[in-house]
Every structure is written in C-alpha cells, then in structure tokens.
Amino acid sequence: MAILLDGKQVSRKVLLELTPEIEKINARLHPHTLRLVIVMVGSHPASEVFIKRKKEVGMALGITVDIRRFPEHIATNKLRAEVATIARDKTVRGIVVQLPLPPHIHEQKILDAVPVEKDVDVLGYKAAGKFYVNNREFTILPSTLAGILRLLHEYGLDDFTGKNVVVAGSGKLVGKPAINYFMRKEASASAFNIRSRTTDKAGALKMADIIISGAGSQGLITGEMVTDGVVVVDAGASKDPNTGKLVGDVDFESVEPKASYITPVPGGVGPMTVAMIFYNLVQLTKQRLKIK
Amino acid sequence: MAILLDGKQVSRKVLLELTPEIEKINARLHPHTLRLVIVMVGSHPASEVFIKRKKEVGMALGITVDIRRFPEHIATNKLRAEVATIARDKTVRGIVVQLPLPPHIHEQKILDAVPVEKDVDVLGYKAAGKFYVNNREFTILPSTLAGILRLLHEYGLDDFTGKNVVVAGSGKLVGKPAINYFMRKEASASAFNIRSRTTDKAGALKMADIIISGAGSQGLITGEMVTDGVVVVDAGASKDPNTGKLVGDVDFESVEPKASYITPVPGGVGPMTVAMIFYNLVQLTKQRLKIK
C-alpha cells in the first residue's frame, strides 16, 4: 500500500502561501493587478481543461488571467509578432504559451518570443539557458519540474543524493528539465532517461529509487517493471482512446502495491504544475519590482 | 582487441576540410585574418598545454590566436568587464575562456559575458540555451561533444537509435552536453548519467552500448564494469599524482580487451575538441559574414 502524493492538497498549501505575497504585489500595482496572459492557438480539448483551471486558480488568488486566443491556422511569424506585442505590455507580468501548438507552427520560435523576465514556464531559450547553466540569480524552475520537487519535498522525499532517478520521456516539459535538475550538484542523483526507443525499459526501471514519468504514453510503466519501495511520480498526460479522459503513464493498479509513494492521476502532478506557474509568476514579479 | 578511435588522425581530417573555408573567410577579412582570443587567468599546467596546442593549430590554419592573460587574483567583475571589452572588438570572431578559472571567480558569470555569436565553446547561457532547446539555426555543438560525435561518425558508430549511452560525470564540458544531446529526438538514445555519488556504477555501465566518460577521475572505469563489445570514449582529464601526466577516466589496460572501439588517451578526444573549436569558429564566422 503506497502513500499517495496528494498534489491537490499540497498545491493548496502552495497557493495559500502565495496569497500574502500577491496582496503585497497588488498593493504596489494598484489600480492594476498582477496579470498573466495565456496564449491559446486553435482548440485542443486537454488545453481547454488546463487553461480553465489556470483561470479559476488565478481568480481565487486575485490574479488577472487573460486568455488570448488565435486561430488554428495562424502562421509562425504572425503568432511570434503577437506574442512579442503581448510581451511589450508592461502590465503583463507573465506569459504562458499553452502547448501543444498546432503542428505547422515552429513551437520553439514562439516560446523564444517570451522574454526571460516573463517566462513563467522557463521554455524560451534564454530562460531555459539560465536554468541549464544553473544561474544563481535565476531562482525559478520549469513549472512541472518545480511542482514535482515541491511535492516530493512535502513528503520528505527530496534528498536525492546517490539516488537513481529514472525519467521516462525526453520532452521539454518533463523529461529534459528533470534530467538536467537531477544532474545538478545540489541534487547529486544519478539521472537515467528512458524513452519509447529504449530496448530494456524494465532493466533501467528496476534500478530506480524514484521514477518520474512524462512520456505521455498510457500504460508505459507496469507493476512487474518496478521494484518494491520505489517512489513513483506520474507527470504523463495522454488521452485514453476508450474513455476520452486524460490519463498518466503509470498503470496505477499494478504499480501502487509495490510503490512506497505514488501520485494519483488526476490530483498529483497536474495541480502542482498549475500552482507553480503562479509561484513562478510571483517570484519573477517580485524580482522586477524589487520586493523582498 | 578493440579498434582505436584515432582522434589525432580524424582531427587532422577536420582541420584539412576547414582550410579552404578559412581561406575564403580570410580573403573577405583582408587585411585582417580570422581571430580567436583565449582568456587565460593565472597559470594552470594543464591549461598551458591546451592553449599551446590551440595556438599551434591556429597558426597552421592561418588563424590568429591571441592569448589574453589575466592575474590569478583578478575579481569576477573585473574579469567580466575585460571579457566584455574583448567581445566588443569586431576583429575578434571567437572567444575561449580557458577553464578551470581560479575558485574565487564566479565562472558562469564570465562565460555569460561571451556573446552568443562568438561563443565557440557554447558555454554562455544564451548559446547553451540555444543548444538546450535545439534551435534549428544554431548549428554548432559544445566543442568536446562535437569532437566525440565527429569521431564516432568517422567510424560509423553514430546511429544511436535505441542505444544505451552511459555518460560518466555531470560537468558543463562533457556530461551535461552529452546527456542533452543523446536525449534529442535526432539521437533517440537512452541517456544514463553516472557520477561519483552513484552507488551502483557497474550496474549502469553494464547496460551501456556506448560509454562516454568525462568525470576527470583516474581509473573510474575498469574492465570488470563493462560488457563485451562496448564502445568507450574517454573524455576525462585529470593529473596522475605519480607521473604528473594528464590521464583519462578509463583504465585502458583492462577495458580495451573487452571494448569493440576505444579512444586512446592522449590522442583521442583531446585533439578532436581542439579541432572542433576551430570548426565552430568557422561556422559562427560564416554565419556572421553570410558566407555559404
């Protein structure tokens, strides 16, 4: 019987801690309020769920969350110019480009149009570069990674020294940030990356003290692939073709009995990511306004 | 009996290929020539060897290599200003900050002072960020990684799809760039990182199809830790306390009989890294001058 890593509860704690900080910021910005813009291109059912959730959380916190919608067939250069225009607006303190963008768009070019001081997801090359080189003054982390680390911290699971951390998936939202974080001296973990092409996934997973999965592949990790006592964090998101529901990568039923700690899906990494976007927004704004 | 990955020979081939390109550039820059500046702080015996080698190669190629020396006790801010001044010089096309810097200096702050278009080592946060996000127009790779890949390419060993690549060490020169490269879709390898804190190094190394070692720890990898047929690339550099000579991480005597391919030290990754610095210098200069 694993202990559940309750992202719903921990995310509420994070947001509660942010409230006095947001009040301080809003007092300074008066008559404006702290403002986040979400750039949404076309419509994508999962994205609609995520932006609705961000909007709700923002409202509860006293943060204005504006959804800027653009048509599905917008060209890369046009969208890039639109994001640059949003970025020039001084009342906009943070920008989220809701991913995935339609396949014809050069995604990174859009992400690179978000200036580093408003890049709450740490996806533009400048913010990502500061994360990659571990810049001392750059105190935020990519939001999903930040959510995972905060969740592990709350359960006393954040001493990674000498631990084997197996990360499934190598995308920009989960896999790459996680591997790079665990390679840092401050983490001192052994970071192993597996992906769909990995021939012996089970061999690598068996070495894991901690598994972080962000492959977006339903049922990727099953009970017989993991060892007793493993900590399992499921940051995967894909659509179950039968139910249409968002599901993780981990076969909860078979993995949970062997794990010591495991995230539920939903209610694990998802709410943590949303909370950490606002956490990052607050940190970046405090830095800009020189609020201690 | 392993085949030797002959970095001396392959690096000569790389430099030979660069020669007509450098002639084209020098014709354009006349009466100036292509110019690289190496920033050297204090004195460090291994660094002296490396910069001497870079100077010699530059001379052979018709490239001016200037060594700019600064005293051991220079402050971070002062050195940063000096690097910024060098960077503003339009005749300087590439800058290498010779590492390691003395421990009192904030190394990344100095590396960040090298502008992206002159950052031949890809170590400043902007260039590193472009590498990390895999920017399509940014065509160079961190020099040691580039050297390793070119060396493997020459021996037909660069189809990494589904291969397990174990990288020892997590530093900015070898470990981090290598792991991030092998995580890319274009490589599609499984990238595993081990470090001094890794408890079961042998367990991870046994899974390796390719081992890339850049830990700087003599004798880290021994014959009994590897499997038959493994490809071994030794990019480690540390000083043998007995002989004072630069040595790699791999115990060549015990590993070579089991490996299919292995780099010698010296004559493996070292000369490749030097060659790729000049390769990167040529690429960045061609881009700036819009030479095809």
B279 lies in some domain:
no
Q: Output the pLDDT for position B244.
A: 86
The burial class, CB within 10 Å (0-12 / 13-18 / 19+), for B67 is: middle
B179 touching chain A per CB within 8 A = yes
A283 lies in some domain:
no
Minimum-distance CB partner of B132 among A129, A185, A204: A129
A220 lies in some domain:
yes
Give the C-alpha distances (Å, rounded to integers) separating A202 from A199, A246, B107, B158, B165: 9, 24, 40, 25, 16
Answer for the pair B163, B233: CB distance below 8 angstroms, yes or no: no
B55 touching chain A per CB within 8 A = no
Beta strands in B71-120 (DSSP E): 94-97
| Residue B111 sits in the same domain as residue B155 | no
What pTM was computed for the model? 0.97
Cα separation, B15 vs B278, whole angstroms? 8
**Cβ contact B183–A183 (<8 Å):** no
Contacts of B189 in chain A (CB under 8 A): 197
Task: Pinpoint the alpha helices (H) of B155-268.
Answer: 175-183, 201-205, 252-255
Cα separation, B76 vs B91, whole angstroms? 25
A249 touching chain B per CB within 8 A = no
Q: Output the pLDDT for position B126.
A: 98
Supply the Cα-derived Rg of chain B in whole angstroms. 19
Number of domains in chain A: 2
**CB proximity list for B31: less than 8 A, separation 6 or greater:** none
State the residue range of the domain holding B117: 29-133
| Residue A35 sits in the same domain as residue A115 | yes
Name the one residue in this structure whose structure tokens are 């046994």: B206
Minimum-distance CB partner of A192 among B111, B127, B192: B192
| Residue A155 sits in the same domain as residue A266 | yes
Give the C-alpha distances (Å, rounded to integers) separating B220 from A162, B150, B224, B238: 16, 24, 11, 11
B183 touching chain A per CB within 8 A = yes
B284 lies in some domain:
no
| Residue B160 sits in the same domain as residue B225 | yes
Q: Output the pLDDT for position B246.
A: 87
Answer for the pair B111, B103: CB distance below 8 angstroms, yes or no: no
Q: Output the pLDDT for position A45.
A: 83
- Tell whether the torsion through CA atoms of A89, A114, A169 and A175 is positive or negative: negative
Contacts of A194 in chain B (CB under 8 A): 190
For residue range A109-118, list pLDDT tens digits in order: 999 999 999 9
Contacting A residues, span 10-29, partner chain B, CB-CB under 8 Å: none
Q: Output the pLDDT for position A271.
A: 97
Contacts of A127 in chain B (CB under 8 A): 129
Cα separation, B99 vs B181, whole angstroms? 22
Other residues' Cβ atoms within 10 Å of the Cβ of residue A90: 9
| Residue B62 sits in the same domain as residue B159 | no
Q: Output the pLDDT for position A59.
A: 96
B111 touching chain A per CB within 8 A = yes
**CB proximity list for A213: less than 8 A, separation 6 or greater:** A167, A168, A169, A174, A220, A221, A232, A233, A234, A235, A236, A248, A249, A250
Q: Distance between alpha carbon A68 and the CA centroid of its chain, in Å?
A: 20
| Residue A179 sits in the same domain as residue A258 | yes
Closest C-alpha among B169, B193, B190 to residue A170: B190
Name the one residue in this structure whose structure tokens are 């986040």: A36
B104 touching chain A per CB within 8 A = no
In order along its 292 residues, chain B shows pLDDT tens digits of 899 999 999 999 999 999 999 999 999 999 999 999 999 999 988 899 899 999 999 999 999 999 999 999 999 999 999 999 999 999 999 999 999 999 999 999 999 999 999 999 999 999 999 999 999 999 999 999 999 999 999 999 999 999 999 999 999 999 999 999 999 999 999 999 999 999 999 999 999 999 999 999 999 999 999 999 999 999 998 888 899 888 999 999 999 999 999 999 999 999 999 999 999 999 999 999 999 8
Q: Output the pLDDT for position A97.
A: 98
Closest C-alpha among A93, A128, A125 to residue A110: A125
Q: Output the pLDDT for position A119.
A: 98
A20 lies in some domain:
no
A112 touching chain B per CB within 8 A = yes
A162 lies in some domain:
yes
Single-letter residue type at A161: T
Cα separation, A10 vs A6, whole angstroms? 6
Answer for the pair A174, A235: CB distance below 8 angstroms, yes or no: yes
Cα separation, A217 vs A214, whole angstroms? 8
Token pair of B247, please?
Answer: 């040595």
| Residue A246 sits in the same domain as residue A176 | yes
Minimum-distance CB partner of A195 among B132, B175, B190: B190
Q: Output the pLDDT for position B46.
A: 84
| Residue B152 sits in the same domain as residue B201 | yes
B205 lies in some domain:
yes
| Residue A154 sits in the same domain as residue A43 | no
| Residue A88 sits in the same domain as residue A153 | no
**Cβ contact A180–B185 (<8 Å):** no
A8 lies in some domain:
no
Q: Is B9 helix (H, G, I), strand (E, B) or coil?
A: helix
Residue of B173, B197, B200, B220 to mutate for A, most A C-beta atoms under 10 A:
B197
Q: Output the pLDDT for position B35.
A: 98
Q: Output the pLDDT for position B292.
A: 85
Contacts of B124 in chain A (CB under 8 A): 133
Among B133, B165, B186, the domain boundary falls at: B133
Q: Output the pLDDT for position A120.
A: 98
Cα separation, B144 vs B130, whole angstroms? 17
| Residue B129 sits in the same domain as residue B170 | no
User: Within chain A, which residues score under 50 in pLDDT?
Assistant: none
B199 touching chain A per CB within 8 A = yes
B168 touching chain A per CB within 8 A = no
Closest C-alpha among A101, A163, A172 to residue A142: A172
End-to-end distance of chain B based on CA atoms, in angstroms?
A: 43
Minimum-distance CB partner of B125 among A112, A133, A172: A133
The domain that holds B90 is classified in CATH as: 3.40.50.10860
Closest C-alpha among B202, B211, B208 to residue B174: B211
| Residue B148 sits in the same domain as residue B120 | no
Other residues' Cβ atoms within 10 Å of the Cβ of residue B202: 13
Residue of B131, B192, B205 to mutate for A, most A C-beta atoms under 10 A:
B192
Token pair of A209, please?
Answer: 């003290």
Q: Output the pLDDT for position A1.
A: 84
The domain that holds A211 is classified in CATH as: 3.40.50.720
**Cβ contact B185–A170 (<8 Å):** yes
